[in-house]
């Protein structure tokens, strides 16, 4: 016990650094996947059949294969198979590859949530807007959008909380996120080696992070409670 | 000159002909009731008038202006349709109020969006907004909803929702106000309060087309009645004639179901 207390400050400092990388990946993924998901959703709902088919096949592939495999392929395929490493070396390159994989993967999940949200708004809402002389754009932004957001908050919350934990998959390409930081103390780092507790301790970070998120998302849901 | 002239409107969905050669006209300030069994094409006709559907054939004229001519591509342009829609208002069976807006906001929204297109909007913003707000207040007062202005649709009864929807349609001052079975989603008690409001509009000489299953009301409020059956106008005339001495056997059949009660 005394030993752990002695190691604690060193471990916390290292885990904090890893957690910042985790958070970076989390936020970059959200910022990229929110709009990309909407684009994919409109693609799969397009009345232009070839576009809708291609989009649906793409979503099927991405949702049908493990994110870990996608990470490995996106990171290693250009360099090892095509002999044109596009990601650059070091942590920066790994982060870029991870961000691209996560954005594409999550955008596909988001697109299905968006689609459900948009199609869940009754047709009568659009028709009411049309007979009142509104344009399609006005109808989307003034009428449909908020009703859609209300519908998608609960399933979106689920995905967002899953994303926090999924960032740990980036460990597979050695991105120095929090799991990587915790594991380092098993092999030996900063005078600490053979210790497994720092790895276990990373769970606390996820738990706290998701606790805060759950509160925030619950608040948003409550805020949208004023209409039905 | 008639305010509305409908000539030879035809409309098919896939292989089903829903409207077959529909022609009628309506004078300003008059009320037209359209009756007929479900599936006879009444709703589709209203949707064609409001440009929610495009007829395959026929001509639509309001105040002498040709709004739609199936044979003239220029009148079918999407960009023009928005402006043409404003000649008509439509009150839906299921109200279709915007749930995220209060009664007031529902009535004001479309008018405010249209006002933004006025060239002098920026300069007179406050004044225009005050006008729109005052008008919405008056309309809701007339609908007997002065105490419900700030309520959201889910806080209102069906009858109150439908009256907000009527105020919302009136806010744009359409030439012709259409009702698509306005009381079909309401229980008898709430039906009464909505019908009362529509009768009041008739007294004020609002030009209206009302699709309804409320026979007594249709007869009472209308200057003209159309009986539709399988996409055709089977009978057309003043209410006394259509309800008392229908010419067609099919009309008699249809009406007998209601009078037997």
Q: Cβ separation of A128 and B88 shorter than 8 Å?
A: no
Partner residue opposite B92 with nearest CB, options A124, A134, A228: A124
Closest CA relative to residue B158, chosen from B180, B197, B190: B190
- Comparing CB atoms, the residue among B52, B113, B154 nearest residue A227 is B154
Of B52, B109, B172, the CB nearest to A130: B52
> Mind listing the pLDDT tens digit for each residue in A185-220?
988 888 888 888 999 999 999 999 999 999 999 999
CA contacts within 13 A on the Cβ side of B39: 2
- pLDDT top residue among A129 and A194: A129
In chain A, which ranges are continuous DSSP H helix?
A: 2-45, 49-64, 67-76, 90-120, 123-131, 136-138, 145-166, 178-187, 197-223
Q: How high is the pLDDT of residue A5?
A: 83
What average pLDDT does this structure show over B148-172? 96
Q: So where are chain B's domains? A: 4-259
Does residue A133 belong to the interface with chain B, where contact is any CB pair within 8 Å? yes
**Mean pLDDT within A121-126:** 95
- Give the pLDDT score at A192: 84
Report residue B120's pLDDT band, with 50, 70 and 90 as the boundaries: confident
Q: pTM here?
A: 0.85
Instruction: Please name the residue of chain B whose CA is at the shortest distance from the CA of residue A143.
Output: B98
Calculate mean pLDDT across residues A66-80. Answer: 93
Q: Report ipTM (2 d.p.).
A: 0.93
When CB atoms are compared, the residue of B85, B97, B153 closest to A130 is: B85
Interchain CB contact of A228 with B (< 8 Å): yes
pLDDT (average), residues A164-190: 91
Does residue A227 register a pLDDT over 80?
yes
Tens digits of per-residue pLDDT, A5-45? 888 888 999 999 999 999 999 999 999 999 999 999 999 99
For residue B261, pLDDT over 60 is answered with no
State the Cα–Cα distance between residues A163 and A183, nearest whole angstrom.
21
Q: Cα angle vertex B224, ends B218, B225, to 5°?
A: 55
In chain B, the N- to C-terminal Cα span, in Å, equals 40
Chain B environment of A226 (Cβ under 8 Å):
100, 152
pLDDT at position B260: 60
Q: How confident is the model at residue A1 (pLDDT cuts 50, 70, 90)?
A: low
Q: What is the pLDDT of residues A131-148, one digit of tens each?
A: 999 999 999 999 999 999
pLDDT in tens, B10-47: 999 988 999 999 999 999 999 999 999 988 999 999 99
Q: Average pLDDT, whole number, for chain A?
A: 93
The arithmetic mean of pLDDT across residues B105-122, rounded, is 92
Q: Is B93 on the interface with A (CB under 8 A)?
A: no
Q: Is it the case that residue A63 has pLDDT exceeding 70?
A: yes
CA atoms within 13 A on the CB side of B49: 33
Lowest mean pLDDT among A17-31, A56-70, A173-187, B144-158: A173-187
Q: Which residue has the tokens 């769970």?
A: A203
- Contact (CB, 8 A) for B156 and B164: yes
Residue-level pLDDT at A218: 94
Q: Please say whether the dihedral angle defined by the alpha carbons of residues A90, A94, A97 and A103, taken in this order, is positive or negative.
A: negative
Distance from CA of A25 to the nearest CA of B (A): 34
Across the interface, whether the CB atoms of B52 and A131 are under 8 A apart is answered yes
Residue A49 in this model has a pLDDT that exceeds 70: yes
% of chain B beyond a pLDDT of 90: 79
- Does CATH number 3.40.50.300 belong to domain B4-259? yes
Q: Could you count the other beta carbons within 10 Å of the beta carbon of residue B233?
A: 21
Per CB-CB distance under 8 Å, the chain A contacts of B90 are: 131
Confidence of residue A2 (pLDDT cuts 50, 70, 90): confident
What residue numbers bound the domain in which A174 lies? 2-226
Mean pLDDT for B64-80 is 85
Q: Say how many domains are in chain A.
A: 1
Instruction: Give B27 to chain A, closest Cα distance, Å.
Output: 22
User: Who wins on pLDDT, A115 or B261?
Assistant: A115
């Amino acid at each position: 016990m005394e030993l752990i207390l002695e190691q604690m400050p060193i471990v916390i400092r290292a885990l904090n650094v890893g957690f910042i990388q985790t958070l970076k990946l989390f936020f970059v993924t959200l910022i990229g996947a929110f709009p990309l998901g909407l684009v994919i959703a409109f693609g799969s709902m397009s009345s232009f059949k070839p576009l809708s088919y291609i989009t649906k096949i793409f979503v099927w592939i991405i949702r049908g294969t493990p994110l870990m495999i996608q990470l490995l392929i996106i990171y290693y395929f250009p360099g090892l198979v095509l002999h044109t490493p596009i990601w650059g070396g070091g942590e920066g390159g790994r982060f870029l590859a991870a961000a691209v994989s996560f954005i594409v993967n999550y955008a596909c999940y988001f697109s299905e949530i968006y689609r459900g949200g948009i199609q869940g708004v009754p047709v009568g809402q659009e028709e009411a807007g049309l007979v009142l002389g509104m344009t399609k754009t006005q109808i989307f932004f003034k009428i449909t959008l908020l009703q859609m957001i209300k519908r998608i908050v609960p399933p979106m919350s689920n995905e967002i909380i899953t994303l926090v934990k999924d960032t740990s998959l980036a460990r597979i390409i050695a991105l120095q996120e929090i799991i990587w930081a915790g594991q380092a103390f098993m092999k030996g780092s900063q005078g600490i080696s053979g210790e497994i507790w720092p790895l276990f301790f990373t769970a606390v970070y996820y738990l706290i992070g998701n606790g805060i998120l759950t509160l925030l998302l619950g608040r948003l849901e409550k805020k949208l409670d004023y209409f039905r | 000159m008639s305010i509305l002239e409908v000539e030879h409107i035809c409309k098919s969905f896939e292989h089903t002909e829903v409207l077959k050669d529909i022609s009628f006209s309506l004078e300003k300030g008059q009320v037209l009731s359209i009756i007929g069994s479900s599936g006879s094409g009444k709703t589709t006709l209203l949707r064609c008038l409001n440009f929610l559907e495009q007829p395959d054939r026929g001509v639509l004229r309001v105040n002498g202006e040709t709004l739609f001519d199936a044979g003239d591509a220029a009148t079918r342009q999407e960009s023009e349709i928005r402006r043409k829609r404003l000649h008509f208002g439509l009150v839906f069976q299921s109200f279709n109020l915007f749930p995220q807006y209060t009664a007031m906001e529902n009535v004001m929204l479309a008018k405010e969006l249209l006002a933004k297109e006025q060239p002098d909007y920026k300069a007179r913003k406050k004044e225009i907004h005050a006008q729109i707000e005052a008008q919405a207040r008056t309309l809701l007062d007339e609908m007997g909803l002065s105490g419900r202005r700030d309520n959201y649709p889910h806080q209102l009864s069906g009858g109150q929702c439908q009256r907000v929807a009527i105020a919302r349609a009136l806010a744009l001052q359409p030439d012709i106000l259409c009702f698509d079975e306005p009381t079909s989603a309401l229980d008898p008690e709430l039906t009464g309060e909505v019908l009362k409001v529509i009768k009041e509009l008739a007294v004020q000489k609002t030009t209206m087309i009302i699709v309804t299953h409320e026979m007594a009301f249709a007869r009472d409020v209308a200057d003209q009645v159309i009986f539709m059956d399988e996409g055709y106008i089977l009978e057309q005339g003043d209410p006394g004639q259509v309800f008392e001495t229908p010419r067609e056997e099919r009309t008699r059949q249809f009406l007998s179901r209601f009078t037997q009660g």
